[in-house]
A and B are shown apart, each in its own frame.
Chain A
Amino acid sequence: MYSHLFKVACILMLGTWVNLAADAAQPQTAETEAGLPLPASTTEDTGTATAGAPDARPAPGVPGGLKRLEDLNLLSTALVDKAGSGSAAAHKFRIEARMYRELLRQTMLSNREQPANQQLPQPLLLDMVRMSALLHAAADCKTGFIISCPADLMQQLRSQQDRVTQGLKMTRMMYD
């Protein structure tokens, strides 16, 4: 019980931190637009510090939240696999699906603050909102203490996951 509360608290703190980090990055972005060199610290603020790693630095035109969405996509891929395994613990799955949603919300909130040419494509975000709703529906499909999704929901989870992955690849290609 307490470990669950701790996890939820961690998720909320992580979300808040991500939001603060995005706000902190805002003036730097403005500076970048003003012609100043882009510091490595503005590489996406996922908490997995990649400062100083040249390959992790986004191209000048890449929207700020793209890296974060790609990280979220890894999370949803893992969740879809878990849902299909038939042995995922229901309470953990629910927490992780919730984490996906909260991080997506934070990304969208910080994305809204970006200039128009730096914003993430709306169809991609909508696809991720749908993914979040499907993950929540999967979290409700529990037989006892494990997640067990019906075949039609599993099929849609996989299709939606493919769509999101494809959308992210297209967006990355568009800006790279």
Chain B
Amino acid sequence: MNATWHQFVTAVWQIVSESAFWVIASLLVGGLVHEFLPSSRFRALLIRKGQVAMLGAIAFGAILPICSCGVIPLAISLYRSGVRLGPVMAFAAATPIINPAAVILSLALLGPQITIAYVILGLVLPYLLGLIAERWGEPLEIKPVAEAPACCSGTQSCDPAELPAPGTRLLPRIAAGLRWGFTDLGPTIAFYMTIGVLLAGLIAAFLPATWVDSYLRDSSGLALLAAGVLGASIYVCAVGHIPLVASLLATGAAPGISIVFLVTGTATNLPELIALYNTIGKRTVVLYVSSLIVGAILAGVAVNAWLLPGFEPVFDPLRSLELVDLGEGLYPTTGNVVSLVSTAALITLAGLGTWRWVAARIRRRSAADGSGDSCCSG
């Protein structure tokens, strides 16, 4: 039992420390996006119906080397800046699935055929997910932060007329963007991520270590489904997991299963899903996850039909090593100190988010008892 809890604590710490830097960086950029995008000429492009915004979001996402936790603040900032739901969800899917480092590593370790399938799926699936989200997802609606709107935090007024208008000076606007990112959006996301990280830690602790070995070696439909569902629940980073998948492929794992695991694993994880579920909308997230799993499984079946039987990845080892070097060089890694500072910042934001959530509950209960008053009730 102690070993299991040790695994749980380790898994939680690992997910937090691995994603913390990217979440903080994404909050920073997200704050600036929220401040500057609504008044920029790009907004017209991004809110316009049509394919340009969707393709632009996928292309932008495909060059960013960010994992699925890191993309949440940026995606929500775009959404709250008025960007349509389709491009936002396409961006949220494309960013973690595909990036230059992952593509080169895949070419080095999984071979050209699987890389082609991976790239096509990494570009087409986000596009389809964007279309589905746009067609059937919830309409744009600005949701309150962690059930405690910013106006209730005691630092800002409820009256929209008293909210600071976007100024023309650069520095105050940057400060306003960062304030929104780190005091409004940050605690909300960190709070929901905490719930997701704890659940992901439980899964990591209680799931047998051999499940990857046992499920990824099969090529049946059930194994494809298991790889899709398990991949969607655990924390998978494309760059970190490609060597793992390569090792399995070399010993006879089905190529389709590898694709399903990589795509569902990287595009979703519980912290991300819970944060999106509570900020963008329940129906959108359910549609997103189910479409992603179904799409990845269909692609897995197609890849198996294409490459099986007899698939064997063959490369020139020296060339492969050179490509591995290149791929890893393109994926920035954070130093120990930066990682620890980011982790501390993320934990602080999570603490703030939790406190706001608890305070909002207490305030609501007090209001219901008639002994309290909410600034936002009117």
Contacts and interface: CB of A to CB of B under 8 A. Distances in A.
Interface of A: 86, 90-91, 101, 104-105, 108-109, 112, 122, 125-130, 132-134, 136-137, 140-145, 148, 150-156, 159-160, 163
B141 interface: no
8 contacts: A108-B321, A140-B333, A141-B240, A143-B14, A148-B14, A154-B209, A156-B243, A156-B247
A65 to B, nearest CB: 12
A150 B210 contact: no
Contacts of B321: 101, 104-105, 108, 129, 132
B324 A156 contact: no
Contacts of B339: 142, 144
Which of B213, B248, B321 has the largest number of chain A CB atoms within 10 A? B321
Interface residues of B, number: 41
A122 B251 CA distance: 15
A40 B333 CA distance: 45
B244 A153 contact: yes
A97 B213 CA distance: 24
A155 B204 contact: no
A35 to B, nearest CB: 31
A134 B212 CA distance: 15
Contacts of A132: 321, 324
A144 B17 CA distance: 8
B320 A142 contact: no
B14 A126 contact: no
A90 B316 CA distance: 30
A155 B213 CA distance: 8
A160 B321 CA distance: 16
B340 interface: yes
Given A109-B318, A152-B212, A159 B10 contact: no
Contact of B251 (A104, A133, A159): A159
Contacts of B248: 156
Interface in B41-96: none
A126 B318 contact: no
A142 B336 contact: yes
Given A137-B243, A152-B212, A90 B250 contact: no
A72 B105 CA distance: 22
B328 interface: yes
B317 interface: yes
A127 B153 CA distance: 56
Given A105-B318, A127-B250, A148-B14, 16 more contacts: A105-B321, A126-B250, A132-B324, A133-B108, A141-B14, A143-B10, A151-B204, A152-B212, A153-B240, A154-B209, A156-B213, A159-B213, A159-B251, A160-B247, A163-B250, A163-B251
Nearest to B235: A150
The prevalent SS among residues of A at the interface is: helix
Contacts of A160: 247
A155 B212 contact: yes
B336 A90 contact: yes
A156 B333 contact: no
A130 B11 CA distance: 24
A125 B319 CA distance: 11
Nearest to B322: A105
B300 to A, nearest CB: 19
Contacts of A127: 250
B10 A130 contact: no
Interface in B310-327: 314-318, 320-321, 324-325
A88 to B, nearest CB: 13
Given A126-B317, A143-B13, A159-B213, A137 B250 contact: no
Nearest to A120: B317
A151 B247 contact: no
B101 to A, nearest CB: 12
A162 B233 CA distance: 29
Contacts of B7: 151
A127 B246 CA distance: 10
Contacts of A150: 11, 14, 204
Given A133-B109, A140-B333, A108 B318 contact: yes
A148 B17 CA distance: 11
A143 B247 contact: no
Nearest to B211: A152
Interface in B169-189: none
A130 B250 contact: yes
B10 A155 contact: no
A91 B336 CA distance: 9
B247 A134 contact: yes
A108 B320 CA distance: 11
A155 B211 CA distance: 10
Contacts of A91: 336
A130 to B, nearest CB: 5
Nearest to A143: B13
Contacts of B240: 137, 140-141, 153
Interface in B232-286: 240-244, 246-248, 250-251
B318 A112 contact: yes
